[in-house]
Structures are given as structure tokens and as C-alpha cells.
Amino acid sequence: MIIAPKIKGFLCTTAHPAGCEADVMSQIDQIKSGGPIPNVPKRVLVIGASGGYGLATRITSAFGGGAETIGVFFERPALKGRTASPGWYKSAAFSKAADEAGLYAKNFNGDAFSQAMKDAVIDTIKADWGQVDMVVYSLAAPARTLASGETVRSVLKPIGEPFSGATIDFNSRELRRVALAPADEAEIAATVKVMGGEDWEDWIGQLKDQGCLAPGCLTTNYTYLGSEVTFPIYYHGTIGRAKEDLDRAAQALALELSEVNGHARVIVMKGLLTQAASAIPGMSVYLSLLFKAMKAAGTHEGCLEQVDRLFRTQLFSAVQRLDEAGRIRMDDWELKPEIQDYVQSHWGQVTQDNLDELTDFEGYRAAFLNLHGFDFEGVDYACEQEPEVPMAVQDF
């Protein structure tokens, strides 16, 4: 079948297998071209491994540090003529490349919040590794089913005051105003349950109780804080409350991991287009302006470039760039005064007529298409594709 992007709102309902594979192979080649990365742990568990920072971490660990990896994700295989999800194709491509390179890579597909998933992964760690050296929690999920059977859902809402912002339609390029009412206490609590640090603590606690954390084990969790422009909907909203809970969890885990001489770190990354970010009102305008400014300055990075810089200069270095909360800051280039000055001075000036002049919306749109395997050079999108791509995976 010929596979083309089908965009509805901020969702793309198709993914291109050849494009996703080309994306993964390009990232692998980029990491390898930078040379080996010293001090990378050799047994790495990535929870949320099929896209964004999680996939970039898995690629960087394996092909930059020679690590064995276990990836946990929740992705959809192709079914009845419908394409698989992008994360399925990208995880399949990673697994194929790892196998060809002689690197151990096992995949677990299902609900990372569930006890069944935790049990299966822990059993595999015991059988294959004995212990794990690094646990990366990079999960992005809209809902979580608790042990009680209750399902709670996160919301993207401001707290205290209503929010009004603009979003850009991917197809029409039209700017539309979006208004959101403030979240109530139940919605705030649910968002923290889904996106906060509780499940991160649960994973580490169970791994520790089962004797699966190696001496010196490191665990990390990626976050984004944003700038003053996005604070009303992001850091001062429901998402921000969840981010605050990550800081609480990191402090608790640091104490728990001290028993194995381990460490817990929250890592603040720069603003990038992810599936979650594309749904947040105002972020399309902010990121389009940010891309314009950072590309002009020569400091724009994607997920892989961020993780590569993190691994080579910060995470395994004796001198880390920490803030007052003990977080590693990789958003330093985004927050440079000259970058934020450009964003803030043009924030209220963007219209449909000057979109290309003031912003890099085309770059933003290309990044969105790239998430789904589209718009890559060297891929023949007029060529017939087999949507069913096999992958060795344990399903839960």
C-alpha cells in the first residue's frame, strides 16, 4: 500500500515504516560518528523506549556506549490494513540494527504501569543480567490504571486562572485561539498520578526489593520546564504540578538508592516537538519561534542531539550543571537571553500572514511529520509499503 500522512488536528493517524527505519538508522549513524561515549552503564532499562527522548537514550546507550538494553513501551502493530504506530516501526528498526551489531536488546509491549509488566521485566533482568546499571524513566501516557482498577487521566489545563492561547493548524496554517478553563483539584491530582513520580518510585522500589539494582545504579527522569512565555499553561498548570512531583520523587529515590551507592536525577531538556507537546495550546507558536531563533544561532537540537550532549558532557561527568533543585539542566541554550528575547518580543505578533517571516513553522511542521516517518530525504514515499513489520516482543 502507498502510505501518506493523514493529519487530523494535532494527530497523524498513519506512520511510514521505511521513513521510521530511515530515521532510526540516521540517529544510529549520527551517534556512531561521534565516537564511543565513555562511562555509559552496560545494562540499561528504558521505560518509555519507543520515541522521543526514550528512544534517543536507547540508541545512544547501545550504539554510543555498547550497552545492552531492555525497552518498555506501549505500541500498536499493523492490523487490517492500518499502519502500525510510529513507535512500533522505530522499535523494530532499532531491534534489527542492534541484532545486526551483536547488541542485546529485548522489548516489552504493554502497560508500563501494570504489575504484570513490572514482574515480567524484573524476571528477565534476573535471568539475563542479574542486575541493572541504569533505569531511564521516559514514559508519556495520557492515563494510568491504578492497582485498585481505577483509571485516572491527565489533563492539560491552567491552575487558578483561565488560559487563552493560539495554536497553528498543520494543514491550513491557520492560527486559532484556544481557551481553557482552570483545572479543579480532582483533575490536578489525577494529572500528578499519571505524569508525576509515583510510578517511577514504584519501578525503582520493586527493582531494589528484588535485588536487581547494581551497585552505583543510576536512574533518570526527563522533564521540561519551559520559559516565562509558556509558564501559564505549562509550569504553572497541571503539567507543572506533575513536574514538581518528579522533584519530590527524585529526592526520595536518592535516599533509597543511597543503600546501593546509587543516584537519581531529574534532567531538564529543551523545548521540542513531541506528540504530547503538539497538543498543548500555545506550544506550536512558542516552538516555531524557538526553532527560528535557535537555528539562527546554530544551537537547535533534536532529541538525539540533546541526549548525545547529555551523555558526553553531563550525566557521566564529575562536574554536572545542576540547578538549586539538583536537576541537570540541558535547556541552557534555550534559555539564553538572546533566544528568549526573540521569542518574547515576537510572541504577540505572529499572524497567518507573517508566519514564515517570524517563525520556523515549516521546520516545526517537518518535525511533526518526522515523528511519523514522513518527510525524510532518500525515502521514496511513492513506493508500495508492507505495513506489517515483525518485531520480537513480549506483549502484556
Output the 3-class SS for the chain: CCCCCCEECCEECCCCHHHHHHHHHHHHHHHHHCCCCCCCCCEEEEECCCCHHHHHHHHHHHHHHCCEEEEEECCCCCECCECCCHHHHHHHHHHHHHHHCCCCEEEEECCCCCHHHHHHHHHHHHHHHCCEEEEEECCCCCEEECCCCCEEECCCCECCCCEEEEEECCCCCCEEEEEECCCCHHHHHHHHHHHCCHHHHHHHHHHHHCCCEEEEEEEEEEECCCCCCCCCCCCCEHHHHHHHHHHHHHHHHHHHHHHHCCEEEEEECCCCCCCCHHHCCCHHHHHHHHHHHHHHHCCCCCHHHHHHHHHHHHHCCCCCCECCCCCEECCCCCCCHHHHHHHHHHCCCCCCCCHHHHCCHHHHHHHHHHHCCCCCCCCCCCCCCCCCCCCCCEEC
Does residue 1 fall inside a structural domain?
Answer: no
Residue of higher predicted confidence among 159 and 177: 159
For the stretch 348-394, pLDDT in tens is 899 989 999 999 999 999 999 999 999 999 999 999 999 999 999 99
Is the confidence at residue 276, as pLDDT, over 70? no
- Domain of residue 345, residue span: 12-395
Residue 362 domain flag? yes
8-17, 141-150, 351-360: lowest mean pLDDT where? 8-17
Q: Is residue 4 part of a domain?
A: no
Percent pLDDT > 90 in the chain is 83
The count of domains in the chain is 1
Confidence at residue 386, expressed as pLDDT on a 0 to 100 scale: 95
Task: Give a yes or no: residue 2 inside a domain.
Answer: no
In a domain, 6, yes or no: no
Mean pLDDT of 268-282: 80
The predicted pLDDT at position 305 comes to: 97
Asked if residue 212 is part of any domain, the answer here is yes
pLDDT grade for 8, boundaries at 50, 70 and 90: confident
* pLDDT computed for residue 359 by the predictor: 97
Q: Summarize pLDDT for 30-55 with one digit per residue, the tens.
A: 999 999 999 999 999 999 999 999 99
- At residue 236 the predicted structure's pLDDT band, cuts being 50, 70 and 90, is confident
Whether 307 maps to a domain, the answer reads yes
The catalytic residues are: 234
Is pTM beyond 0.85? Reply is yes
Q: Average pLDDT over the chain, rounded to whole?
A: 94
Q: For residue 260, give the CATH number of its domain.
A: 3.40.50.720
Has residue 5 been placed in a domain?
Answer: no
Residue 260 has pLDDT above 70, yes or no: yes
The answer to whether 273 and 368 are in contact (CB under 8 A) is yes
pLDDT of residue 293: 98
Distance between CA atoms of residues 369 and 363, nearest Å: 10
Checking if the pLDDT of 61 tops 80, the result is: yes
Q: Which amino acid is at 221?
A: N
The 10s digit of each residue's pLDDT in 74-93 is 999 999 889 999 999 999 99
pLDDT value at residue 395: 87
What pLDDT, on a 0 to 100 scale, did the predictor assign at position 322? Answer: 93
Per-residue confidence at 163, pLDDT binned at 50, 70, 90? confident
Percent of the chain with pLDDT over 70: 99
